[in-house]
Amino acid sequence: MNVKELFDLRGEVAVVTGGSGGLGGLMARTLAGAGAHVAVIARRPDPCEEVVREIKAAGGNALAVGCDVLDLGALEAARARIAEALGPPSILVNGAGGNRPEATTGPSRSVFELDPAAISEVFDLNVQGTLRPCQVFGRAMAERRRGCIINISSMSASRPLTRVAAYGAAKAAIDNLTRWLAVHMAKEYGPGIRVNAIAPGFFLTDQNRFLLTSRDSGELTERGRTIVEHTPMGRLGAAEDLAGALLWLASPASAFVTGVVVPVDGGFSAFSGV
């Protein structure tokens, strides 16, 4: 087989939820760079448009779609618009997710004071925000008996981390959902549909910036320093570090891979601390 064809996504239609963020935008640009037509989805359309402009400036094809991933009606409308403009989706990247400060413990908030509404919001955004796009965009994959779904997990799913109880539990649910959906789709709709997940290590994003860096100086917090010390590669991840794993899982290169969660973490999950 031609090695270049292993990672060729020409003719594929990819949907990236949470596509306007730092990591989501990188994933959208990566898929477009491999030849896919990319629909960039987020609640606010303006940041999506910026990602689309970058993709088009690089010679790719993309569409910006403002859509709340928790709104099934909005997702169905997005599906129809994407199908008309780009074609039926064959790749879905569930990048929408995140944490909330009110659902995070700290010096001023104990576990007994976590906001129930914020906890529910974290679960909805991560779990329902992954499942619902699978229900909507996965239907076209089921009908065509081919496709690829990539969910975004976290290091906190497999190794419980201090402070982020709700987020870690929600991401653990993503791992389970990924494996369940991989089996279900292959058994019910054909082995041409694959479902996997990427578990990023510690990347500096808008969601975790308040935990890893000082608001005033921008220097690493005590927590940030601890993370780097427990990462054998000795640094936080950069968005570009996700590109290779994403392209591998989205492309024919991983044609016999389904139901796995791939850590991209600089060795964090392998290090015992001693």
Instruction: Work out the angle between the directed axes of helices 243-250 and 22-33 (0-180°, nearest 10).
Output: 50
How far apart, in whole angstroms, are the C-alpha atoms of residue 88 and residue 146? 11
Alpha-carbon distance values, 168 to 98, 116, 122, 172 (Å): 10, 15, 10, 6
Strand, coil or helix: 215: coil
Q: Rounded to an integer, what distance in angstroms lies between the CA atom of residue 240 and that of residue 203?
A: 10
Q: 175's torsion region: left (phi>0), alpha (psi -120 to 50) or beta?
A: alpha
152/174 Cα distance (integer angstroms) = 8
Long-range CB pairs of 208-213, under 8 A, 24+ apart, other chains included: 208/99, 210/101, 211/104, 211/163, 211/164, 212/236
Residue with tokens 């596509």: 19
Return the active site residues: 167
